[in-house]
Structure 1
Amino acid sequence: MPSDLLQLPIVLPAVLVPVDVVAVVLVLLTVVGPRGRSRGTDTPAGPVRHRWDRGLPAVLVRVAALAVGAGIGLVAVWWFGDVRDLFGVSFTPVTRMWVAFTTAAVLLFLVVLVQGGNGRRVVALAAALAVALTAGLGINVDFGAYRTIGEAVTPNPYPTGRLDHQHPARAGAHEVDAATWTAPVGMPRHGRTLAVRIPATVSRFHARRAVVWLPPAAQVADPPTLPVLVVLSGQPGQPSDMFQTGRIGTFLDRYAAAHQGLAPIVVSPDQLGAPERNPMCVDSRRLGRSATYVMTDTVRWIRQHLDVASTRSAWGIGGFSQGATCSMQFSSAHPEVFGATLAISSELAPANGSLEHTVDVGFGGSRRAYDRATPEALLAAHAPYRGHLTVFGYGEDDAPYERSTLALRAASARAGIATTLVVSPGSAHDWNTVRYVLGRGLPTVIAHLGLPVGEVRR
C-alpha cells in the first residue's frame, strides 16, 4: 500500500480538480456558511448577545480579509522575488496567483479566530490547509517538477550500485564508430540509472551520492568507448534532479533505442553538498572546494571507472540554473577537458545572495578574484576556443535569464565557440523549460560528441 501511494500522480486533472473543488467549498463555507452560536456578556442592564461571526457585516469582514490577504501575498512575492531577488527567479503569474490564494486563506482563518464560532474556526482551518495543498500542487504543475508523491518525497530514488566492469578510458579514442558497432545479443533494452559514491579524495568536499546513467551499450561485457556528459542540478537541488525531474534518461533511452544502444554516459555529481547550500562551483575556505571536487575528483573517477573517450571532443557538461552557471564556469576555464556545453538558464556570474555576500563567502572578500571567475572573464582569458560548442536555452517568459543567456552567448561567440539557442515557449525558470531544451538541444550536443544525429524528444 505505501508503495502504491507513492506512485499516486499529482499532476493529473483527476487529482487536481477534486482538491480544488474541496478548497473552494471550504472557503465558501467559512465566509457565508451556517451561523455560529452567539456569545453573551452579563451587564447591569441584562445579558448582551454578541454576534461577531453572524450577519452581513461579519461576512463583509471575511470577504475583505480574503482581498487583503491576497494583496499581502502579491506584495510579498514582488518584494522578496522581484525587488530583493531572494530566490533568483522571476515568478510566473500562475505562481503569484497561488501564493495570493494561500495568504488570503490564512488571513481569513485569522479573522475567523477573532470573530469566534468554534465550528467556523474548524472549517476555516481546514480551508486554509486545503488552499495551501491546492497551491502547492498548482505551483508544482507550473514549475513542472514532480509527477508523483514518490518523486516529491524521495530525493534520490535510484539504487546504490557498483560499476562491476571497470574499463579505463582509451587514450586516443574520441568517438564510437557507429558504422561498425553492432549491438550484441542480450544487450539490455534500456539505460541503467544508479547512485554511486564519488570519493572526495583531493577536495575533501562533503558531497552526496552522484547519479550515473549507463546506456544499453555500456552494460555489455565488452562495451564500446562512449562519450560522457556531466550534468549538474540547480540550487536548491540534488544530483537526481536531471534524471527524476528533467528526465534526461528518458530522452537518451529514446535515442539509444534508435542507435543500437549507443548514447553518452551521463554522470551527475553533487556540486552543492546539500540542497540549500551554494558553493558556486569555486574553491573557498568557507564553502568548501566544490570546483576541485568536480574537476579533479569527479573527472578522475569517471576516467578510472567508465569506458569513456579521453579527448575533449567526447566530453560535455551541462546543467540548469546554478548548474548551468557552473557548467559555463568549468567549460570556459577548462577547454582542454570539455568540448561541448549545454547551459539551460545560466546566470551571468556565480551568486550567493548579494554581490557583497558572494564576494565575501566565495572569494575571501576579493572583488578581483570574483571578476576573474565569471564566465565572461574566463571566456575572454582562454580565447580563442577551437572545436567547442555551447547550446544555450531559456524559457520564453524568463526575462532575467534571457538577458544573461544572450550576454553569455555573445561572449562565447566572441571567444570562437560555436553556439545554438533553444527558447522554450510559454515557460519560465522551471523544469518545463529544462525538458523542452533537453529535447531540442541534446541532439546537437550528442552529434558534437561524436555520435549520430538523432531524435531524443518524448
Structure 2
Amino acid sequence: MGLTSDEVLALAVLSAVLLFAGTVWLWPRLARRGLRAVSGRVALLLGTQVALFAAVGLAANQSFGFYASWADLFGQEKDQGVVVDHLPDGSPLKVVDSRRVPGAGGALPQAGGRIQRVDIVGRTTHIASPAYVYLPPEYFQPRYRTHRFPTAVVLTGYPGTASALVEKLRYPSTALELARAGRAKPMILVMLRPTVAPPRDTECVDIPGGPQTESFFAKDLPDALRTHYRVAEKPGGLGIIGNSTGGYCALKIALHHPGVYAAGAGLSAYYKAPIDATTGDLFQGDKALRNRADLRWYLAHEPAPDTSLLVSSSKQGETNYKDTLRFIERVEGTGRTRISSIILESGGHNFNTWRREIPAALEWMSGRLIGP
C-alpha cells in the first residue's frame, strides 16, 4: 500500500483508536508496581502515541502532498531528474497511459475527456519530468478536429506531487464542470511539479551551472506540447497557474516571458525566491539573477510586461496577505501589466483553501486565453 493511499491512512487511524481503547481497558490491570506492570503501561502509551502521530502525519501528507512514496519519505529517492538524451523516438513528449477524468461519467473521451500521463524531455535544457495532461471532451469531437485549444500549465507547490493536482485539487474535473456550465472555454491542462530536479527546490530559476528550470518552462515545455497536442500556437493561447511555490513560479514566468504566457495565476504565492536548505545557492553570487527572481524588484526596475496576473490570499490564515497587497499595488503602478485578486476572509495554506479558489482562477484564466 502506497504512502498516500486511503487504506494506509485508515489503518493508522484504526490502530490509534484500538490502542486507545486497549489502554483504557487494560489500565486497571496494569495499575500496580512491578517491572511487568510498568513495562505494560509504557508499551501501551508508546504504541498509542506512535499510532496517533502516524495518523496525523499521514493525514497531513494527504492534504499537502509533502511526500509521494515511502522511498521519498525515508530519503531513498535520489533521482535528480536530469538526462542527457531525448526519448528513443526523438520526440520530446511520450504518452505513458490514459484514463478517465474522475467523476466525469461516460466511457468515451468525447463525453468526459481524458487524462494522459506523459514523460517530457526538454530539447535544450535536457530536463526530464513526468506530467499529467487533461484533454477536454471537445478535443475528441469531430467538430473541433481542426481547433487548437487554450492551454494552462498547472504547477504544484514544493515538494508536491503531480497526481495531487488531479486527485486532491481536482483541476480536470473542475475545468470540465466549468466548461459544461458555460463559465469557461474547454482548455487543455498540463499538470506537473515545479521540482523538475528533485529533491532540490530550484524555484524555477536558471541556476548557473545547474538545472535551467525557467528555460524548461518558458521554452522546452511549450515546444514539447506543440509537437504532440493541438494547443493554441498564437500569442495569447498559453497560461500558467500554481499554488505556493508553483504560484511564485507561475507569476515569475508570466512576468519574464509575456510572449509565451498570456496570463499567470499565483495561489498563495510568495514574491521572492527563498534561499534555504532545500534550494541551495540558486544564484551563485549573481546579483542580477537574484534581483530578477524578486518580482517586486523586477516590476520596479524592468519595463512592465504586457501580461495578466492573478494573486490570491486570505485575511486570516495566510502569511502572504500583506505581501500580496504590496504586490498588487506595485503592479497597478506599472500602468501596463494587469492584476486581479482573490482575497478570502479566512483560509490556511492548504488544499482546502486552494480548492475554494481554483474554480474562479480557471474561469479567470479562460477569459484571458484565446481559443475556440
Same fold (TM over 0.5): yes
> Structure 1 residue 252: deviation in Å?
0.7
> Structure 1 residue 118: deviation in Å?
2.7
Aligned partner of 1:273 in structure 2 is 196
Give the distance between the partners of 1:237 and 1:22, measured in 2 at CA: 32
Aligned partner of 1:58 in structure 2 is none
> Structure 1 residue 269: deviation in Å?
4.0
Alpha-carbon spacing, 1:191–1:409, altered in 2? closer, same or farther (3 Å): farther
Aligned residue among 309, 319, 330 for 1:400: 319
Q: Deviations over 1:399-440 (max 9, x none)?
A: 422123222222222222222211344321111121111022
Maintained 8 Å contact 2:110/2:139: no
> Structure 1 residue 250: deviation in Å?
1.3
2:146 corresponds to 1:235: no
2:320 aligned counterpart, secondary structure: helix
Q: Deviations over 1:332-382 (max 9, x none)?
A: 11111111111101112111317xx96x72111223420122222333455
2:53 corresponds to 1:132: yes
For residues 404-423 of structure 1, the aligned pairs below 5 Å read 404-415=323-334, 416-423=336-343
Alpha-carbon spacing, 1:261–1:335, altered in 2? closer, same or farther (3 Å): closer
For residues 51-70 of structure 1, the aligned pairs below 5 Å read none
Maintained 8 Å contact 1:144/1:431: yes
2:240 aligned counterpart, secondary structure: strand
Alpha-carbon spacing, 1:209–1:367, altered in 2? closer, same or farther (3 Å): same
Give the distance between the partners of 2:129 and 2:27, measured in 1 at CA: 48
Maintained 8 Å contact 1:26/1:124: no
Alpha-carbon spacing, 1:7–1:280, altered in 2? closer, same or farther (3 Å): closer
Alpha-carbon spacing, 1:24–1:407, altered in 2? closer, same or farther (3 Å): farther
Alpha-carbon spacing, 1:412–1:253, altered in 2? closer, same or farther (3 Å): same
Maintained 8 Å contact 2:150/2:238: yes
For residues 201-220 of structure 1, the aligned pairs below 5 Å read 201-205=123-127, 207-220=128-141
Q: Deviations over 1:222-249 (max 9, x none)?
A: 2521111011111011333322221111
Maintained 8 Å contact 1:212/1:267: yes
Give the distance between the partners of 1:306 and 1:36, measured in 2 at CA: 72
Higher fraction of helix: 1
Maintained 8 Å contact 2:158/2:194: no
Alpha-carbon spacing, 1:249–1:152, altered in 2? closer, same or farther (3 Å): farther
Q: Deviations over 1:95-126 (max 9, x none)?
A: xxxxxxxxxxxxxxxxxxxxx72322321232
Maintained 8 Å contact 2:152/2:190: yes
For residues 108-257 of structure 1, the aligned pairs below 5 Å read 117-136=38-57, 139=60, 143=63, 160-161=96-97, 188-205=110-127, 207-220=128-141, 222-257=145-180
Alpha-carbon spacing, 1:352–1:252, altered in 2? closer, same or farther (3 Å): same
Give the distance between the partners of 1:419 and 1:27, measured in 2 at CA: 57
Q: Deviations over 1:60-90 (max 9, x none)?
A: xxxxxxxxxxxxxxxxxxxxxxxxxxxxxxx
Alpha-carbon spacing, 1:421–1:305, altered in 2? closer, same or farther (3 Å): same
For residues 38-57 of structure 1, the aligned pairs below 5 Å read 38=34
Aligned residue among 357, 364, 370 for 2:290: 370
2:249 corresponds to 1:326: yes
Aligned AA for 2:272? A
Aligned residue among 282, 301, 306 for 2:224: 301
- Alignment RMSD: 3.6
Alpha-carbon spacing, 1:234–1:6, altered in 2? closer, same or farther (3 Å): closer
Q: Which runs of 5+ in 1 are unaligned?
A: 40-52, 54-115, 163-185, 453-458
Give the distance between the partners of 2:313 and 2:294, measured in 1 at CA: 19
Alpha-carbon spacing, 1:409–1:216, altered in 2? closer, same or farther (3 Å): same
For residues 434-445 of structure 1, the aligned pairs below 5 Å read 434-445=354-365
Maintained 8 Å contact 1:187/1:219: yes
Aligned AA for 1:245? K
Which stretch of structure 1 is more off in the superposition, 17-26 or 429-438? 17-26
> Structure 1 residue 259: deviation in Å?
4.7
1:428 aligned counterpart, secondary structure: coil
Maintained 8 Å contact 2:16/2:48: no
Maintained 8 Å contact 2:13/2:52: no
Give the distance between the partners of 2:369 and 2:286, measured in 1 at CA: 37
2:367 corresponds to 1:447: yes
1:317 aligned counterpart, secondary structure: strand
Q: Deviations over 1:301-337 (max 9, x none)?
A: 1122221222332211110111111111111111111
Give the distance between the partners of 2:5 and 2:312, measured in 1 at CA: 32
Alpha-carbon spacing, 1:144–1:426, altered in 2? closer, same or farther (3 Å): farther
Maintained 8 Å contact 2:23/2:45: yes
Maintained 8 Å contact 2:241/2:265: yes
Alpha-carbon spacing, 1:23–1:135, altered in 2? closer, same or farther (3 Å): farther
Maintained 8 Å contact 1:160/1:195: yes
Give the distance between the partners of 1:385 and 1:405, measured in 2 at CA: 19
> Structure 1 residue 287: deviation in Å?
4.0
Aligned partner of 1:429 in structure 2 is 349
Aligned partner of 1:182 in structure 2 is none
Maintained 8 Å contact 2:148/2:233: no
Aligned AA for 2:266? A
Alpha-carbon spacing, 1:322–1:215, altered in 2? closer, same or farther (3 Å): same
> Structure 1 residue 292: deviation in Å?
1.7
Q: Deviations over 1:184-229 (max 9, x none)?
A: xx76221211211111221122x33121111111134625211110
Report how many residues are paired: 336
Give the distance between the partners of 1:280 and 1:347, measured in 2 at CA: 11
Q: Which runs of 5+ in 2 are unaligned?
A: 73-94, 99-107
Give the distance between the partners of 1:346 and 1:422, measured in 2 at CA: 12
> Structure 1 residue 276: deviation in Å?
3.4
Higher fraction of strand: 2
Maintained 8 Å contact 2:125/2:216: yes
2:320 corresponds to 1:390: no
Q: What is the identity percentage for the equivalent residue pairs of Structure 1 and Structure 2?
A: 21
Aligned AA for 1:238? T
For residues 286-297 of structure 1, the aligned pairs below 5 Å read 287-297=210-220
